[in-house]
Amino acid sequence: MRTIQRNRFEDLEIAPASFGVAILNKEKFLEVLKELEAITDLNLLKIKMMALKGGITFPKRDREGILNIDSNGDTVSLRKDVLISELGQILEAHTIGRAKYYLKRLENGIQKIKTSKINDINLLRWKEYDGIITDSLWVLDKRDTSGAHLGWYWGNFIPQIPHQMMLRYTKRGEWVLDTFVGSGTTLIECRRLGRNGIGIELNPTVTQNATELVEREHNKHNVTTEVITDDSRTADIEAVLGKYGIKQVQLLIMHPPYYDIIEFSKDRRDLSRAENIDEFLKMFGDVVDNATPFLEKGRYFALVIGDKYSKGEWIPLGFYCMNEVLRRGYLLKSVIVKNFVETRAKRNQKELWRYRALVGGFYIFKHEYVMLFKKKGRA
Ligand SMILES: C[S@@+](CC[C@H](N)C(=O)[O-])C[C@H]1O[C@@H](n2cnc3c(N)ncnc32)[C@H](O)[C@@H]1O
C-alpha cells in the first residue's frame, strides 16, 4: 500500500509545471474539503489529499468529479499552480491541527472574499497575486510596450508604475487623477484595469497626441478617460470632476518634469522652465496644493521623481519634493527605488559616462523614486 502511494506521489512531483487556471465544480470541491476536515487521522487525511491532488493535476484521475462542470453548476477558478502548492502544504503538515488549518484556509478562499477598503486584492487568495510587487527595490528589465503603450514620448514613465499603483491603491471603477499626463501612460492603464482616469497636461499638442493614443486602447470596462489641457497649478479640478458627478478621486499620480533635465516646452508655466530649484519646488508645491483637496482622505498619492546633477553636485530633487509633500498633510508610506530601463541612446554613451564618472568622482544615475504618500484622515 505504502509503495503504491509513494509512486503516485513521485508522479505528481514530475508533473509539468502548469500556471493555468483550474476550473472546479465549487459545490463538489467544498463537499470534498468538508469530508477531509472531518477526518481525525493525519495519515488517512494525507492519503485522501494525495488522491485529490492527483485528480486536479491529472484530470483522468478525478474520481470525485471535481472537474465535472454541469451546465447549472457553480464554478470556482483558481490558479492551478497555487492550488497544487496549497494542497502540497497540507500533505506536508506534521500535525492534524495544522493540516486542518490549511484546509480551512483553502475553503475560506473559495467561499469568501476579503478585501481592504483601498483595492480588490482578495486577501484570502493572496498567493495568487505574485504579479503585485511588495518590495521597495524595483528592477524591471523592460517597459511594457503592448497595446497603445508605444513609449514615443521622451520623459514618459513605464506603464508598470501606474499598473502597480492602481492594483494596490484602487478598486475597479474608482477614479485616478494624473496632473502631468504627458503621453497618457496612466490613462491607457486605467482603460486596461477598469479605473476611470482624468489627466491634466500643459502642452496642447501633447494632450492631442495622448488623447488619440488613449482612444486606441480598447475600453473594455467602459470607463471614463479624459485629458484636459491646463496648468495643474491652477486648473479647476472641482469643475472637471463635477462633470462626472464626483467630488474626489481615490488615487493621485504625479510624474513632474525632473526640473530642467528635459525641457518639455517653452511655456513659462511648465515646471521644466523654472528659473531655479526654489522656483521649481514652489511650482510643484502649488500643484500639490491644487490637487490635494480632491484626493479622498486615507487614499494614496504616488510621486515619481528622480534626482539630478548640477555643476558637479548631486541635487536630491526627489527628497526636496518629498519634503514639499510632507508639509501638506500626507504620511510617507514608502520610498521605492526603481532602476532606469536603459534606452538605446544611453547604451551607446555607456563608456563615455563611465569615464566621466571615474574622472569626476560621481556615480551614474541608475535609479529614480516612486514615493508613496497617504492623505491624513480617515476615508
Ligand atoms: C515627466 S512628463 C510626464 C510623462 C508621463 N508620465 C508619461 O508617461 O508620458 C511631465 C509632463 O508634465 C507636463 N507639465 C509641465 N508643467 C506642467 C504644468 N504646470 N501643468 C500641467 N502639465 C505640466 C509636461 O508638458 C510633460 O508632458
**Interval 342-359: pLDDT, tens:** 666 667 788 888 998 899
Rounded Cα distance between 145 and 158, Å, is 9
**For ligand 1, mutation pick of 145, 271, 304 (most atoms within 8 Å of CB):** 271
Q: How far is the CA of 255 from the centre of ligand 1 (A)?
A: 7
Residue positions counted in the chain: 379
Distance (Å) of CA 212 to CA 205, 227, 260: 11, 10, 27
Rounded Cα distance between 70 and 26, Å, is 11
Rounded Cα distance between 110 and 57, Å, is 18
Q: Which atom of ligand 1 is nearest to the CA of 159?
A: 8
Q: Which atom of ligand 1 is nearest to the CA of 185?
A: 8
Q: How far is the CA of 229 from the centre of ligand 1 (A)?
A: 11
Residue among 252, 285, 226, 230 at smallest CA distance from 162: 252
Rounded Cα distance between 106 and 29, Å, is 11
- What pLDDT band is residue 177 in, cutting at 50, 70 and 90? very high
Average pLDDT, the chain: 89
Taking CB atoms and a 6 Å cutoff, what residues make up the pocket around ligand 1? 153, 155-157, 180, 182-183, 185, 200-203, 206, 231-233, 255-257, 264-265, 269-271
Rounded Cα distance between 282 and 290, Å, is 12
Structure pTM?
Answer: 0.87
Q: Are 193 and 172 in contact (CB under 8 A)?
A: yes
**Whose alpha carbon is nearest atom 17 of ligand 1?**
270
**Whose alpha carbon is nearest atom 12 of ligand 1?**
180
> Average pLDDT in the 146-165 region?
83
pLDDT, tens digit (0-9, with 9 covering 90-100), for 159-171: 999 999 999 999 9
Q: Cα Rg for the chain, rounded, in angstroms?
A: 26
Asked whether the CA dihedral 347, 348, 351, 356 is positive or negative, the reply is negative
pLDDT, tens digit (0-9, with 9 covering 90-100), for 285-329: 999 999 999 999 999 999 999 999 898 899 999 999 999 999 999
Rounded Cα distance between 302 and 335, Å, is 10
Q: How far is the CA of 59 from the centre of ligand 1 (A)?
A: 53
Where does the chain have alpha helices with state H?
A: 2-13, 26-38, 42-57, 80-91, 96-111, 160-169, 185-193, 204-216, 237-242, 277-291, 317-326, 344-348, 350-360
Rounded Cα distance between 129 and 107, Å, is 18
DSSP of 257-319, one letter per residue?
--TTSS---S-TTSGGG-SSHHHHHHHHHHHHHHHGGGEEEEEEEEEEE--EEETTEEE-HHH
Rounded Cα distance between 69 and 85, Å, is 23
3-state secondary structure of 328: coil
